Amino acid sequence: MKPVDLERHWMEAFAAQEAARADEPARLASARGAAIARFAELGFPARRHEEWKYTNPERIAKPPWRPAAAASVSPAELAALGLPLEAGPHLVFVNGRFEPALSSLDGLEPGVVAGSFRTLLASDPDRLAPHLGVAEPFEDRAFAALAVAFAPDGAFIAVPRDAALAQPLLVVFVGVPAAEPSAAHPRLVALAGPGSRATLIEIYVTAAGDAGGGAQLTNALGEIAVGENAELEHVVLALEARSATHLAHRHGSVARDGRLTSHGISLGAALARHDLVGTLAGAGAACALNGLYVAADGQHVDIRTTVDHRAPHGASRELYKGVLAGKSRGIFNGKVLVRRDAQKTDAQQKNDNLLLSGEAEVDSKPQLEIEADDVRCSHGSTIGQLDADALFYLRARGLDSGEARGLLTRAFTAPITEALPIAALREQVEAEVRARVAAALERAEAA
């Protein structure tokens, strides 16, 4: 397929769905039309673009993806995925479509809105209308435009003023691959009203399905708004199969004296790219970005974060950790931008990486762009291997090589995993990390 044909493929796929979109509300149709027009204007990025220097966009754009068809997952299949759904009310989407039979809002506080785009468009379209298009920071991103153009549905959550959710709210996006390469476009909008308190957990997994193991692209788009004096804790857990490609754009905006705490865990997919933008829009706004990415043989993970301080007295803390084993590659690019009016900003950023093999590779690029003159900002990065003295100490006390390496790796990841807000989620993530690291080390020792 020639490069010029890449855009044409998606334009033709969009046109082919015209009949299926005939009964959609006018506002949704308008948003889709604007998005596909913007995609046609932008085209796919090229490797020469600085933001795609380390991840070849053709690996994402070139496969002949078809829009993922509606699929079903049984309650037993969902339960077999081992997700902590008992932790609170949950919405489940399969190939981007809401599945009421798999969802439960039992225990959700009165006044909280949690449901699908399609339901809200039928009952309260004015509420959703401002969020149908591409979020501001991603207006020049072709893949974000495709998410708007093709998303069959989406999750919408609104927590009212001064509400405090006693339980976390979970949104699960299940991908079911087809025989041929397919693309799902999950969307999420979450609004935390002024003075509210809530925890939101967003999970991406792959189910086997009946058609078997074709490749699947997850092209996710998320928008989060934290109101004045509100607090939202947001977890994103990406656990898709190794046959998947995960691409995500997420924007979080924080109003005056609000706080957003983000935990991003990337463990699955052959190729994963997470693009997160946090905008501190009001005075005294704060955010904390915590992240962990684990990659093993052949996996490629690219993390890009931007914290945009636009108002005075803002504070941001960022800690991302990477564990790379086998022949894998990790990329971290984190930017802290302090605007001229954002005086008294306090921003700290750090990226630490642990290489468990001589073939693993990581590129780390923390950045500061400061236009204000009364700030306190710092950034740093480390790349290293397990400490030989610590390994010797543990081996001398009876641990074999794999156990010693696993223990030190868990100590490295603990600052991220232990900060996760619910015990069941912490246990699942820690178990997944242990299993993936142990398997990679066993393969390395056997080679």
Whether the CB-CB separation of 104 and 170 falls below 8 Å is answered with no
How many CB atoms are closer than 10 A to CB 229?
Answer: 18
Whether the CB-CB separation of 88 and 107 falls below 8 Å is answered with yes
Q: What is the pLDDT along the chain (447 residues), one digit of tens a residue?
A: 344 477 888 999 999 988 778 788 888 889 999 999 999 999 999 888 888 999 999 889 888 899 999 999 999 999 999 999 999 999 999 999 999 999 999 999 999 999 999 999 989 999 999 999 998 899 999 999 999 999 999 999 999 999 999 999 999 999 999 989 999 999 999 999 999 999 999 999 999 755 556 899 999 999 999 999 999 999 999 999 998 999 999 999 999 999 999 999 999 999 999 999 999 999 999 999 999 999 998 899 999 999 999 999 999 999 999 999 999 999 999 999 999 999 999 999 999 999 999 899 999 999 999 999 999 999 999 999 999 999 999 999 999 888 899 899 999 999 999 999 999 999 999 999 988 888 887 777 766
Q: Look at strands 90-94 and 97-98 and give their pairing.
A: antiparallel
Whether the CB-CB separation of 190 and 200 falls below 8 Å is answered with yes
CA-angle at 256, arms to 255 and 259, nearest 5°? 70
Whether the CB-CB separation of 207 and 81 falls below 8 Å is answered with yes
pLDDT for 212: 57
Amino acid at 4: V
* Predicted TM-score of the model (pTM): 0.95
Using only the alpha carbons of the chain, give its radius of gyration.
21
Torsion 313-188-414-405 (CA) sign:
negative
pLDDT for 26: 85
- DSSP strand E in 310-436: where? 315-324, 329-338, 346-355, 361-370, 376-384
How many CB atoms are closer than 10 A to CB 369?
Answer: 12
Whether the CB-CB separation of 322 and 331 falls below 8 Å is answered with no
pLDDT for 213: 67
Q: CB within 8 A of 126, min separation 6: which ones?
A: none
d(CA 209, CA 175): 9
Whether the CB-CB separation of 164 and 195 falls below 8 Å is answered with no
**Could you write out the three-class secondary structure of 21-73?**
HCCCCHHHHHHHHHHHHHHHHHCCCCCCCHHHCCCCCHHHHCCCCEECCCCCC
Amino acid at 440: A
Closest C-alpha among 232, 241, 164, 163 to residue 202: 232
Maximum separation of any 2 CA atoms in the chain, in Å: 70
- State the helix-helix crossing angle for 3-16 and 26-42, rounded to 10 degrees: 170
Sequence-separated contacts (24+) of 33-41 with Cβ below 8 Å? 34/133, 35/133, 35/134, 35/145, 35/146, 35/147, 35/148, 35/149, 36/11, 36/145, 36/146, 36/149, 38/134, 38/139, 38/145, 39/7, 39/10, 39/11, 39/142, 39/145, 39/146, 39/149, 40/7, 40/11
d(CA 132, CA 29): 10
- Burial of residue 48 (CB within 10 Å: 0-12, 13-18, 19+) is exposed
pLDDT for 2: 41
